[in-house]
Structure 1
Amino acid sequence: MPIGKETGLIQKTIYLIRHGETDYNRRGVVQGSGVDSDLNEMGRAQAQVFFQAYQHVPFSKIYISGLKRTFQTAEPFIELGLPYEKLTGLNEISWGVMEGKAPGNLDNEYYRNLIEAWESGKTNQTTEGGESPEQVAARQKVAIDTILSHPDESTVLVAMHGRAMRILLCWLTNQPLSTMDQFEHSNLCLYKIQYDYENATFTIELANDTAHLLSLALA
């Protein structure tokens, strides 16, 4: 456990990743929490190169959402025998009627209007049949409390989803949910975060890092 000898501070290092690519991602189709898709060939390759780049990190535990694309992303680490836990609070936002739809003009307009409403501060507005950012944040706080309740797990890997990550990063850094789109993300990107238990603060050390994917781009 990283305890400073002089200050007595206890910190937790969180490696936060988005899942690897799925065919829905490639086709631009909205997934959400209601679509339990598999990683495609590229997504599995992304998971493997991330593992190769970070297998040396002494992860105490792995946390994944309830959707199999996060399990498959973390699977190379899980196969090492590392303990893992599913937390449905880490699930992607429910996009309701938008989920699983091929992109079209009307759907794009619906999506654009929704994002604009959130950006204007209406983060309690839900998708039709789905969730609002505020509802997602509420369930995420339960999941993060679970993760933080184990200070002995000094370094953890957390695999989740794009829109959910944006919402999470907003409230972790005490920013309004309306600013969530400032947090860029791509498939199998990494955010490295430090949590200070004494001050109850999160600090982002790496944002949307994809250096580990360079070998795939060169292949």
Structure 2
Amino acid sequence: MIQKTIYLIRHGETDYNRRGVVQGSGVDSDLNDMGRAQAQAFFDAYQHVPFSKVYISGLKRTYQTALPFIELGIPYEKLTGLNEISWGVMEGKVPGNLDNEYYRALIEAWSSGNTALPTDSGESPEQVAARQKTAFNVILSHPDETPILITMHGRAMRILLCWLTNRPLAEMDHFEHSNLCLYKLQYDYATQTFTIELANDTAHLLTLAVNSYQ
């Protein structure tokens, strides 16, 4: 039985995350000090895993998150299909009251099943899923690569985890996430099915909380 073990993480914190500003695929922000500390904490906890390959999105916050592993000499590949959803005109804006109403209505529409509805001048969840499937065809075409590390983005991860587990995209908010959280998955090539073994795991970040009180 051929299986692929996948460690799927969200990138570390950026200043946009801290300020509650939407980034999306159009804002190519850097990790902040906390984000770099989160990346190091994840590396410290998982550097023993013999990753065959690292996959990142086209945005540098995912590269910076995976950098400690890449510096070990682990090969990496950039797949823009793993990019965050495009939030269109909302990207880089500090949400005001009207913007919050826009997001509320948008999320409600998606949750009710209208996942073909795009953001204003951006993407729909269905468009994101389509490009993700192209990226995953590349990833799964290498059964010899296991385990692998994939560094992605919050909303994109929610969309990805839905279709990987055969859930409708309307259920994407079922999948919680935080900066540098881990989802560990197994892919079975015989049955072509994904199993989630760990969900939104942040145990590796406990050292940051401990250190902050010292």
Answer yes or no: same fold by TM over 0.5: yes
Cα distance in 1 for partners of 2:136, 2:159 equals: 13
Give the deviation of 1:201 after TM superposition: 0.2
Partner residue of 1:146 out of 134, 138, 141: 138
| 1:99 is the counterpart of 2:104 | no
| One-letter identity of the residue aligned with 1:35 | V
Partner residue of 2:187 out of 195, 201, 208: 195
| 1:74 is the counterpart of 2:76 | no
| One-letter identity of the residue aligned with 1:10 | I
| One-letter identity of the residue aligned with 1:64 | I
CA RMSD of superposed structures (Å): 0.4
Give the deviation of 1:217 after TM superposition: 1.1
1:81-92 equivalences under 5 Å are 81-92=73-84
Partner residue of 2:53 out of 53, 61, 84: 61
1:15-50 CA distances to partner (integer Å, 9 max, x unpaired)?
000000000000000000000000000000000010
Cα distance in 1 for partners of 2:17, 2:54 equals: 24
**Residue in 1 aligned with 2:118?**
126
Runs of 4+ aligned residues of structure 1 deviating over 3 Å after TM superposition are none
Cα distance in 2 for partners of 1:105, 1:157 equals: 38
1:63-106 CA distances to partner (integer Å, 9 max, x unpaired)?
00000000000000000010000000000000001100012101
Which stretches in structure 1 are left out of the alignment for 5+ residues? 1-8
Which stretches in structure 2 are left out of the alignment for 5+ residues? none
| 1:51 is the counterpart of 2:43 | yes
Give the deviation of 1:154 after TM superposition: 1.6
| One-letter identity of the residue aligned with 1:127 | T
| 1:157 is the counterpart of 2:149 | yes
1:140-167 CA distances to partner (integer Å, 9 max, x unpaired)?
0000110000001021000000000000
> What percentage of aligned pairs have identical amino acids?
82
Give the deviation of 1:119 after TM superposition: 0.3
